Amino acid sequence: MKIKSKWALFMVIGLTLYFWANSYKKAYAMHIMEGFLPFGWVVFWWAITIPFLIIGMKSIRKKLKEHPELKTMLGLSGAFAFVLSALKIPSVTGSCSHPTGVGLGTILFGPTAMSVLGTIVLLFQSLLLAHGGLTTLGANAFSMAVIGPFIAYGVFRMGRKLNLSFAVSVFLAAMLGDLGTYLVTSVQLALAFPAEVGGFIASFAKFASIFGLTQIPLAISEGLLTVLVMNLLLKYNMPELSHLPTVKEAS
């Protein structure tokens, strides 16, 4: 599951240049911006997100109680998601796309734990970077911190059952978890703002096509970067991570 160093270096440099080249362009939003959703949908998305957060906090508490040494890796998983999802990449219409970074923590700690980490990431981004908002935090958390991790985890488990290599399973999990987040965001926006002609379907097609052109290459890049980071973690932190079920499969 090792990646040749020259290809890893090429990928990191390429991603850095891509992000830098696009960072100066005007962009109007990260995630769903503050005040954008009607009040009813704000309440709805919070209501269905909160149960996942409660379950996730119990999961984290149990893992850390059994293995306190995992605190560092838990923090690293959150930091990875924060950095990647804070990178604003202008989309074709002036909106923004970004990686999500949830695949790494999902594979290491499970989807419900990542729901908590992802929501914390989104909270700090809304307060410190003006990315997203507090009223829309429930909707943003549901797409990026709930559905994204569950898709990533399901894809990872399916990949292992199909006897795909650990690296390929990690890549597909991170990539499809990223794309799944944006499909859910498109659904959320289409539900809140159905088109006058064509209703929900037409609105969903519009939002999904807007995100798609930018998000597909981002998702592929995120998948490759997640494999690279996972390789580094397994190489230098295997004793600390050996308690995690998914990591045992890589050894």
pLDDT digits (tens, 9 = 90+) for 114-130: 999 999 999 998 888 87
> In whole angstroms, what is the distance from residue 69 CA to residue 192 CA?
43
Mean pLDDT in residue range 159-172 = 92
Residue 97 domain-assigned (yes or no): yes
Residue 107 domain-assigned (yes or no): yes
pTM of the full structure:
0.82
Domain extent for 179: 32-248
Task: Output the CA–CA distances (angstroms, integers) from residue 204 to 3, 42, 190, 212, in the order listed.
Answer: 38, 18, 5, 12
Residue 248, pLDDT score:
63
Residue 4 domain-assigned (yes or no): no
Residue 117 domain-assigned (yes or no): yes
Q: What is the distance between the terminal CA atoms of the chain, rounded to a whole angstrom?
A: 10
> In whole angstroms, what is the distance from residue 104 CA to residue 235 CA?
15
> In whole angstroms, what is the distance from residue 234 CA to residue 242 CA?
9
CATH code of the domain containing 153: 1.10.1760.20
18-32, 128-142, 162-176, 231-245: lowest mean pLDDT where?
18-32
Residue 29 has pLDDT above 70, yes or no: no
Residue 118, pLDDT score:
95
Residue 43 domain-assigned (yes or no): yes
| pLDDT 10s digits, 137-163 | 999 999 999 999 999 999 999 999 998
> In whole angstroms, what is the distance from residue 84 CA to residue 68 CA?
26
- Can you tell me whether residue 168 is helix, strand or coil? helix
Residue 12 domain-assigned (yes or no): no
Q: What percent of the chain has pLDDT over 90?
A: 46
The vertex-145 CA angle with 189 and 78, nearest 5°, equals: 135
| pLDDT 10s digits, 179-227 | 999 899 889 999 999 988 889 999 898 888 877 777 888 899 899 999 9
Residues sharing a CB contact under 8 Å with residue 62, sequence separation 6 or more, in sequence order: none
Residue 23 domain-assigned (yes or no): no
> In whole angstroms, what is the distance from residue 180 CA to residue 143 CA?
8
Total domains in the fold of the chain: 1
Residue 77 domain-assigned (yes or no): yes
Give the phi and the psi of residue 133 in degrees, each rounded to 5. -170, 175
